[in-house]
Structure 1
Amino acid sequence: MTDSEYMDLAEALLKAVERGCDRINDESDADLDNQRVGGMVTLTFSNRSQIIINLQKPLHEVWMAARAGGFHYRWDGAQWMDTKGHGEFFDHLSRCASEQAGQPLSFSS
Structure 2
Amino acid sequence: MTDPEYMDRAEAALAAIERSCDRINDATDADIDNQRVGGMITITFRNGSQLIVNLQKPLHEIWLAARSGGYHYRHDGNAWVDTKTREEFFGNLTREATLQAGQPLAFTPD
Same fold per TM (> 0.5)? yes
Whole-angstrom CA distance in 2 between matches of 1:106 and 1:60: 25
Gaps of 5+ in 2: none
1:61 is displaced (CA, Å) by 0.1
1:7 is displaced (CA, Å) by 0.1
Gaps of 5+ in 1: none
Whole-angstrom CA distance in 2 between matches of 1:66 and 1:18: 17
Matches within 5 A, 1:1-109: 1-85=1-85, 87-109=87-109
| SS in structure 2 of the partner of residue 41 of structure 1 | strand
1:86 is displaced (CA, Å) by 5.1
Whole-angstrom CA distance in 2 between matches of 1:51 and 1:86: 20
Tell me, yes or no, if the aligned pair for 1:86 and 1:92 is still in contact at 8 Å.
Answer: no
Q: Which aligned runs of 4 or more in structure 1 are off by greater than 2 angstroms?
A: none
Aligned residues: 109
Whole-angstrom CA distance in 2 between matches of 1:68 and 1:17: 19
